[in-house]
């Protein structure tokens, strides 16, 4: 082996070793999280979890998965837990007084519902069939048959086959 190849191999090994051991040499204080930050993070996660649970509860009730007599109690309990979490979150963030936490929860749920409704609105089979039929009726270019040379479908407005280029009479 040449001397240059040995130095190159050794330098790659040293650089790789330094890269692997870098976390052991870093300042551990920079990576530590304070108790307040940890509490704030857990409160934010709990808030998100409760909002998602409320949204799923409403969706399940809409689908009929939850009995009508159980729904108000379950929703009230989730709202109570969410309002308590928001009060704690307000106290942890800025010490501001908790004002009308339930209305903020309802506003957040409404925003999530609107967002999910914009992404997916389930259609019944009849509505879907009506849309397909209307789209087919509005389609300008109708099928004109098949190409006599290659057999691929052509439209009435085509003068040449889009596949093989044969003139269509």
User: 51 in the Ramachandran plot: left (φ > 0), alpha (ψ -120 to 50) or beta?
Assistant: alpha
In terms of Cβ atoms closer than 10 Å to its own Cβ (0-12, 13-18, 19+), residue 58 is: middle
Please tell me the pTM assigned to this model.
Answer: 0.41
CB 36 within 8 A of CB 91: no
What pLDDT tens digit does each residue of the chain (169 aa) get? 698 899 999 999 999 999 999 888 776 655 667 788 888 889 999 999 999 999 999 999 988 898 989 999 999 999 999 999 989 888 887 644 445 667 778 888 888 887 776 665 566 788 888 888 887 777 656 677 888 899 888 887 788 888 898 998 7
Question: Which class does domain 35-122 fall in?
Answer: mainly alpha
User: What pLDDT was estimated at residue 84?
Assistant: 93
CB 62 within 8 A of CB 75: no
């Amino acid at each position: 082996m040449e001397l240059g190849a040995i130095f190159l191999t050794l330098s790659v090994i040293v650089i790789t070793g330094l890269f692997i051991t870098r976390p052991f040499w870093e300042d551990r204080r920079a990576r530590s999280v304070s108790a307040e930050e940890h509490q704030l993070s857990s409160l934010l996660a709990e808030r998100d979890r409760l909002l998602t649970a409320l949204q799923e509860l409403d969706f399940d009730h809409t689908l009929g998965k939850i009995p009508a007599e159980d729904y108000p109690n379950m929703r009230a309990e989730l709202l109570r837990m969410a309002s308590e979490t928001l009060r704690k979150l307000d106290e942890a963030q800025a010490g501001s007084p908790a004002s009308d936490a339930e209305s903020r929860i309802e506003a957040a749920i409404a925003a999530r519902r609107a967002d999910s409704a914009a992404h997916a609105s389930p259609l019944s089979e009849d509505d879907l069939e009506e849309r397909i039929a209307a789209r087919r009726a509005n389609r300008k270019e109708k099928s004109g048959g098949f190409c006599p040379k290659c057999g691929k479908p052509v439209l009435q407005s085509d003068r040449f086959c889009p596949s093989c280029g044969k003139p269509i009479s």
